[in-house]
Structure 1
Amino acid sequence: MSNEKAKAGPPGTPAQPFAPASLWLTTLGLCLATFMQVLDTTIANVSLPTIAGNLGVSSSQSTWIITSFAVSNAITLPLTGFLSRRFGEVRLFNICTVLFVITSFLCGISSNMTELIIFRALQGAVAGPMYPITQSLLISIYPAARRGMALAILAMVTVVAPVAGPILGGWITSSYSWEWIFFINIPVGLLASFIVFVQMRARPVTTVKSGVDYMGLILLIIAVGSLQVVLDLGNEKDWFGSSFIVVLTIVAVIGTIAFLIWELTHPDPIVNLTLFRHRNFAFGTIALIFGYSAFFAIGLLIPLWLQRTLNYDSMWSGIVSAPIGILPVFLAPIVGKYANRVDLRILASLSFVVMSFTSFWRSDFTTDLDYMHIAMTQLVLGLGVAFFFMPVLTILLSDLRSDEIAAGSGLAAFLRVLGGSFSASITTFLWDHRTVIHHAQLSENINIYNPTAVEALKQYGDTTEIAAYNINNLINQQALQISFNEVFWGLGWLFVLLVGLVWLTRPPFMAKPGAPPSGGH
């Protein structure tokens, strides 16, 4: 139990400056927890085909492993302020970290997909407050003159972790078993929690039993949960041919309308939608949502494509995806230091142009690409990633009042994570749906009544059955590739539209006095 003392001061924050016994050790503990939590947003991506095969479900159903985590993570993000006031930041950090360890263990021992999805949802829920609380604690223990360095360290962790996820996940899945992508969190989480507990247990803080917008939270869960299930199960249930999907769609629509009305009229809403009255926040947040959603789609689709279409194993699909992190690691500190010297719309536009270019580049991919060609595309995409988060986040927070910054940052993070979750479902649906269409088109003339087709089949096997099996695999591979190219063609045009959107914002983009630094991962 935390040894935090109640002293006078703002709720949930230290009453006086606090310095841990070891600054670097505390930083290590905080960053380890962040690394673990951010890592789990990508570590399962390359393992989805393996998990799907082991648990006996389809590849599209396996994406629930990603979306259940992201939706739950998004829903609990707005609760961070309330929970930090109620329990104190250090105690909340340790509670969330230990619960993350427990839910990781439960994910690892899951014996079927239903259990894994439930435990991933719980894991995402307890992870929600972890990043904002880590950032707040890190800022609080560094002197004002060194806070830039602290945020640079945290930014480096949030850049490296998503890149390390596919590599580590691929290696673990290939060398051991997929369960260990979750078990690996246990020693890391316990070590991080122990370090922070020892170093910061004497940190003074005031805790208060403040109220929370429970009705807003319930409506949020109903609206978001229903919509996510519709997106995930729609294709499997034949969309609106299913009464189940129709009912859930009605629930999602009514829940969303009720949520919007409640939040816009509540004196202390869980999600402050009135912030969209600010021009830069509105357009900047829309750019963040769609930009991150498209980037999230790329990060999910590439490993699946490598394994389903090019027959890479999970380890090599992680390795070939890794170059995306090279340029961001080197450029992140430079962008953070010098970005405010130029118009941030230029940097954001550069990001979207690069991501658009790589998407159009991928729309011409074929099934006989070599490793270096794919890796080079990932390397170039990293340039777009390096110029994405910091400029867009700074733009969207730039016209908020200083007392609105925290709520604005939280709302943007909530919508960003939610957008990524919806993106995973929509992208996999589009890829699978277009694959079915192209498979039907490519195979419509291959049958026993077509003499030319029967003659051609002889090249693919000694018997008609073997030849048919082999040609079907070939057609399926080409259908997957054509569909993949179409999805990336659409993503390319989405990034082009975002270039225009970001120029609807207006300078200046300087942070308001007293505004806490923003972050994202």
Structure 2
Amino acid sequence: MARPEQQKGTSVAAMLPNTAQTYDTGLRKIIITLTVIVSAMLELIDTTIVNVAITQISGNLGASIEDVSWVVTSYAIANVIVIPLSGFLGNLLGRRNYYIGSILLFTLASLFCGLATDIWALVFFRFIQGLGGGALLPTSQAILYETYRPEERGKATGIFSMGLVLGPTIGPLLGGYLVDYLSWEWCFFVNIPVGLLAAWSSFTYLREPKGRHAVTTIDWTGIGLLAVGIGSLQFILERGQSKDWFDTPYITIFTFIAVAALLAFVFWELHTKEPAVDLRVLARSKNLAIAAVLTFIVGYGLYGSLFVFPVFVQRLLGFTALLTGEVLFPSAMVTGIISLPLGIALQRGVSPKLLMAVGMSAFIFFCFELSQQTMQSGSSNFFWILLVRGVALGFIFIPVTMLAVSGLHGKDIGQATGLNNMVRQLGGSFGIALTNTYITNRMATHRVELLSHLSPYDPAAAERINLLQQAATIRGGLSPAGAETVALKALEGTLTAQSYHLAYMDAFMLIAFLFTVCLPLLLLIRIQKKEPVDLSSAH
């Protein structure tokens, strides 16, 4: 039976025999929806907002760029450790308490990040911020599913998907404004009023779900193996490229630790009675397993392309960080606008496989079109291409998010949302790390290819050098020897820029290829129509 305070402003729907689930309606439902979306976006915005402030942080704190990169790395490591544990910790502490506590921890850590006067203090508080923020994404998703009736799940997924795409895209734009007009500290201070408001709203309007699975024992072994394994893997992905991967001994050591710990984690979780992360849910739901693969590729494509595009337009086309954010923003807005209608369409019976096929095909087209851009491209050249990206992500995110929890009941939904969000985060990390490595290798290959055409005996190359020498002599009044040096440096700059341009184009084609390879997975999806879903224990 519902508690007395639950009866006002709620409706009751039968979920299982002899049980009842209470659903919020009216203003309370709207406030809860806004609260969880804002909380999820706080977490996602902070994955990218600091990226544009790296140089300013380095200068203000007297740290090297390599040291400052730990500000990004520590947050990502903490995130990816906590996300799969969110269901377990919600059961252990109570979902409402865990959620509010995570928001407050994130907000308090944001304050100390902004007040930090030492780079390693900032890295430490950034890690703490990641521990708090990691819970917000999967728990927000589970709360939203529990707030809406089963037949409204498509609408709930559409609403939640807005935050999934808007957050990472808004981050650089907001960070650019704050750094340009205030200071880098405001990349953290901006979280404080929003976080406090979200914590107050959660405290006032959220209720502890009925039927919470009581945790009788704490799986310390599983938690430890997960933290070591996932933490080491994330560290390798974040630092491998800058350290020449396995040419650096400690990268090799951490790779061994990651593989050993993750294999031990999987074995332990499959054989322990009360696992921190119930991996058996993957066996109970083939759709979740397929969704995990698709989500990994989507994360790879989303974060990989979001990594390559700003570097390409800023390094080669001369875009500022602010202009880059402004160019990307309409794409995110398109995704936000279409998310709710797509969710409602799914709710009314539109095939999720059809939507995902359209979305993945559109994303392939988006990557292909980017791979055709030239060094003369301007912001207007990217407008329609990026709008296609926005449409594609909307058509992909919403069905795949629903697919992850289709056919699951009770606490399995909490486990599924945690696993799915972890896989997307790891997909993004792999996307950035492997794309960066791929660009470096392709750049070297293209450089060798272009150099083969630069011979003193090549008439075109000789003419180019001669023109550069003449320009240096006329404009700079240099001697023939000095003019030749300037000409060769200018040619070297052109060669490097062209090599990087070709490498960036190859990176977009690689992402398009991965999406193409994954398209046949859609044929394996099986959706049972009008399947009743129990959300009463989702965390």
TM-score normalised by the shorter chain: which range applies? 0.7 to 0.9
Task: Give unmatched runs, 5+ long, in structure 2.
Answer: 6-19, 477-481
- Residue 330 of structure 1 corresponds to which residue in structure 2? 337
Structure 2 residue matching 1:431: 3-state secondary structure:
helix
1:393-432 counterparts in 2 under 5 A? 393-400=401-408, 404-432=412-440
Question: How far apart are the structure 2 equivalents of 1:509 and 1:117?
Answer: 48
Task: Say whether 1:344 aligns with 2:348.
Answer: no
Question: How far apart are the structure 2 equivalents of 1:245 and 1:137?
Answer: 39
Larger mean Cα displacement after TM superposition, 211-220 or 510-519: 510-519
Distance 1:434 1:412, change over 3 A: same
Larger mean Cα displacement after TM superposition, 280-289 or 508-517: 508-517
- Residue 82 of structure 1 corresponds to which residue in structure 2? 88
Count how many residue pairs are aligned between Structure 1 and Structure 2: 506
Q: Which amino acid aligns with 1:458?
A: Q
1:369-448 counterparts in 2 under 5 A? 369-400=377-408, 404-439=412-447, 441-443=449-451
Q: Any idea what the Cα deviations from partners look like across 1:313-369, whole Å, max 9, x if unmatched? A: 111010011121232222111111112523221111111100011111111111210
Question: How far apart are the structure 1 equivalents of 2:68 and 2:382?
Answer: 24
1:163-182 counterparts in 2 under 5 A? 163-182=169-188
Contact 2:95/2:209, CA 8 A, preserved across alignment: no
Distance 1:509 1:290, change over 3 A: farther
Distance 1:304 1:88, change over 3 A: same
Deviation at 1:301, TM superposition (A): 2.1
Q: Which amino acid aligns with 1:497?
A: V
Question: How far apart are the structure 2 equivalents of 1:284 and 1:120?
Answer: 30
Deviation at 1:439, TM superposition (A): 3.9
Q: Which amino acid aligns with 2:41?
A: F
Which of these residues, 257, 278, 298, is aligned with residue 291 of structure 1? 298
- Residue 477 of structure 1 corresponds to which residue in structure 2? 497
Contact 1:20/1:199, CA 8 A, preserved across alignment: no
Aligned sequence identity (%): 28
Distance 1:410 1:239, change over 3 A: closer
- Residue 238 of structure 2 corresponds to which residue in structure 1? 232
Deviation at 1:129, TM superposition (A): 1.5
Q: Any idea what the Cα deviations from partners look like across 1:52-94, whole Å, max 9, x if unmatched? A: 6776655x88765545433321211232233333433333222
1:28-67 counterparts in 2 under 5 A? 28-47=34-53, 57=64, 65-67=71-73
Task: Give unmatched runs, 5+ long, in structure 1.
Answer: 6-14
Contact 1:173/1:314, CA 8 A, preserved across alignment: no
Deviation at 1:101, TM superposition (A): 1.6
- Residue 492 of structure 1 corresponds to which residue in structure 2? 512
Question: How far apart are the structure 1 equivalents of 2:295 and 2:225?
Answer: 24
CA-based RMSD:
3.7
Structure 2 residue matching 1:120: 3-state secondary structure:
helix
Q: Any idea what the Cα deviations from partners look like across 1:107-137, whole Å, max 9, x if unmatched? A: 3345566554443332222112223333444
- Residue 514 of structure 1 corresponds to which residue in structure 2? 534
Question: How far apart are the structure 2 equivalents of 1:225 and 1:303?
Answer: 27
Larger mean Cα displacement after TM superposition, 354-363 or 455-464: 455-464
Contact 1:51/1:178, CA 8 A, preserved across alignment: yes
Distance 1:245 1:77, change over 3 A: closer
Deviation at 1:207, TM superposition (A): 10
Task: Say whether 1:315 aligns with 2:339.
Answer: no
Q: How high is the TM-score relative to the length of structure 2?
A: 0.81
Larger mean Cα displacement after TM superposition, 234-243 or 111-120: 111-120
Which of these residues, 466, 473, 476, is aligned with residue 455 of structure 1? 466
Q: Which amino acid aligns with 2:505?
A: N
Question: How far apart are the structure 1 equivalents of 2:281 and 2:149?
Answer: 31
Contact 1:409/1:518, CA 8 A, preserved across alignment: no
- Residue 196 of structure 1 corresponds to which residue in structure 2? 202
Contact 1:171/1:315, CA 8 A, preserved across alignment: yes
Task: Say whether 1:217 aligns with 2:223.
Answer: yes
Which of these residues, 264, 267, 284, is aligned with residue 261 of structure 1? 267
Question: How far apart are the structure 1 equivalents of 2:67 and 2:502?
Answer: 22
Larger mean Cα displacement after TM superposition, 154-163 or 427-436: 154-163
Contact 1:272/1:411, CA 8 A, preserved across alignment: no
Larger mean Cα displacement after TM superposition, 70-79 or 138-147: 138-147
Q: How high is the TM-score relative to the length of structure 1?
A: 0.84
Larger Rg, first or second structure (1 or 2): 2
Question: How far apart are the structure 1 equivalents of 2:488 and 2:524?
Answer: 55
